[in-house]
Structure 1
Amino acid sequence: MRVIIAGGGIAGLATALSLHAAGVESITVTEAATEIKPLGVGINLLPHAVRELTELGLGDELAAVAVATRELAYFNHHGQLIWSEPRGLGMGYHWPQYSVHRGRLQLMLLAAVRDRLGAGAVRTGHRLTRFASGPGEVTARYGGSEIRGDLLIGADGIRSTVRAQLYPAEPAPLWNGLVLWRGTTRALPFRGDRSMIMAGNHDQKFVAYPITAPDADGKVEINWIAERPFDRSAAGRGDWTRPVRVAEFLPYFEDWRFDWLDVAATIRRAGAAYEYPMVDRDPLPGWTHGRVTLLGDAAHPMYPIGSNGASQAILDARVFSDALARTGEPGRACEIYEAERRPATSAITLANRQMGPELVLRRAHERAPEGFTDIERVLPLAEREEIAARYKRLAGFDPVLLNERRSYDATLST
């Protein structure tokens, strides 16, 4: 069986590894960039994604490049604690939760693909221009060249060429009026060296977490995100690597100084900052057309709420490879994969538009905009727990359900 994967990002590389583990012998990953570089900043991998990478034999490699998150804590913009919970092993999962630099994760996956599938499995400088799908074969075209296969998987991101051909009338990604500014800063850790924090409300927020272990001076690389509404001129931007001067947004956070973290100083000391509008797309009525299907951000781009984007892409990869291994039929595998993943990711996309687990920030601010002396009187524990638990169930990482779920480890029969 010959599988073509358009896109050499986390989604595409995870899919290649999953298909290889399932026994698919001919896998070609095509990537538009001429060289895959460690771009981006920090992301999170939730335990359901860590389980999948661990079952692919990448547990040790992942632990070497990532930080195992100990807790997730929410604060208002005064720095008062709203809600905190343990994460990963501390929550009872069988797998950790990790914070990691996106580029380091991508290069780790790339090295594994080249080691297991061969150096030629990933073809850079191959920008997909169009595809043609017939009853028994699909042809992917790249300028003047083409690759033929039994299946094409579009894992080519939010501005997917595959998606655009399937849905040519779809508008540009939808912007909600918020802008993210992202960067990393070398500094002493806060609340220990493995905490992820979110502070603010539904309009203005600051997120921070370490993506390296402490160095000899006790400092870590802190990944941070500053978020707030911005003028409409930002709406057309869709490049995570667009640099921006810190001075353009620092004034909005200048007075954010907590007992445990100086937000303004963290932003000010960043080596570089990047701007990106908060965009997603409406859920699609279908991902599959014949021997072509979508995966990852190409299928379900969602707001970066709940630390779920990369994790859901990795789940896509494993569910698809499992379906293909169990059926041995590309068309049937696409149907099974889409039936499981499209409703689930559509629900997450819509929930993220309503802030997902970060709803606690909105409710605390609406009920006590000037702060509080007793959070229990503002947002009772039972309500906070239900918001967190509901999102875990929706996104597929409820601890009990995840720990007991079967593995996506089927292999093709010979």
Structure 2
Amino acid sequence: MRRRLLIAACAAALFGVTPAALAPTALADDGILVSAQGRDAYSRPLPSLETGRGEAFRHGRSLFRQAWLLAPSAESAGLDGLGPLFNRLSCIACHVKNGRGEPPDGAGDVMRSTLLRLGLPGAGPHGEPAPHPVYGDQLNPDGIPGVPGEGKATLVWHEREETLAGGETVRLRRPEVLLRDLAYGPLGADVLTSVRLAPPVFGLGLLEAVPESAILALAAGNGGRPNMVWDVTKGASALGRFGLKANQPSLRQQNAGALAGDIGITSTLFPDEACTAAQTACRAAANPRRPELTDAQLDALTLYVQALAVPERRNADDPVVRAGGRLFADLGCASCHAPTLTTGPHALPELAGRTIHPYTDLLLHDLGDGLADGRPDFLATGREWRTPPLWGIGLAEPIAGRAFYLHDGRARTLGEAILWHGGQAQPARDAFRDLPPERRAELLAFIRSL
């Protein structure tokens, strides 16, 4: 790695080429994979990460785990500014162990690592969802002293039973949003809501390094669609690749948006507090010290997320797993969950020129009415979702003790998640349902090996 960086630095000095523009030829998985052993398998840095960037990685990790404080705070060391409205106190509170969240367990439970997006029919000036005029674009349940939280949301579950080939029965559940304690009155009959489970955050730097041309080439062949979204830094439309509907163009903007929306921490990208005109107490309590997050802090947090490594596969040579891999391709799952991509140039040289196996195309696909939230997001319709990466998914339950899948956490098993697929994925879903039990077990063993 040091030799590659030295070559890049010499080329930059001689020819005026920046190191970020120099992508090495495709490298093997060495340097980007870490051991799958231990409950911190989602939290380790790239093995190839240069020593000089280790301090920034550790700084970003502390910011990711930091519980933000009320401002002003003499003990905060620059980590104050919580709210006035917020969902949680830290990033790690939702992305526990850098993995996925979990939904409420019923009407008596609360949203801990799940949030409720809001909107109205129509779109904002750049194509983004039109916010609710009183509650904004998400429901934040908590406020700092003197500022009422917007309200509480939880889920009640409705189940139905489905019988698979061979006689196995599966209970599929779907959520219904239950609202209470709304501070500013009812949301209105035309409100659009979407339940969002916190997704895992490892491996995202490698996905950021996949060239746009490669993603668009996949769209030309598999029926997926790119989401074109607003890039705040560029002041222009750009390819979306992060977020459950691919509504963020970069990890820097994804991080800044989450800090602003979920914790109430402003930055140069999002300098305004999330207080609507009707929320007078929120506006009066807004921190005069803005932005609350410095650019250096945002850089460190972004590098941390970019440099989180991917856990290595397990049991890849097991005959059952190999048979499941063939089924994954034969049923058409690999059309959207693309097994192999190659990264291009990136500002973090360790990410450039890598052959990776994320099992995603980063594109939008219509998954049918069963998974529809009815809330458009830039070009994404209410039935479309970005294909989530599958790498590391088999560790979700061992790391957290239990796991939930899909955008709202309705699926309690990988089999349930497959059975909820509709729309473009309906043929693959039906084929999975009709497989003999032993073949379904092979497919699930393959997915758990990723």
**Do they fold alike, i.e. is TM over 0.5?**
no
Query: Which of the two has greater strand per residue?
Result: 1
TM-score w.r.t. the length of structure 2 is: 0.29
Query: Which of the two has greater helix per residue?
Result: 1
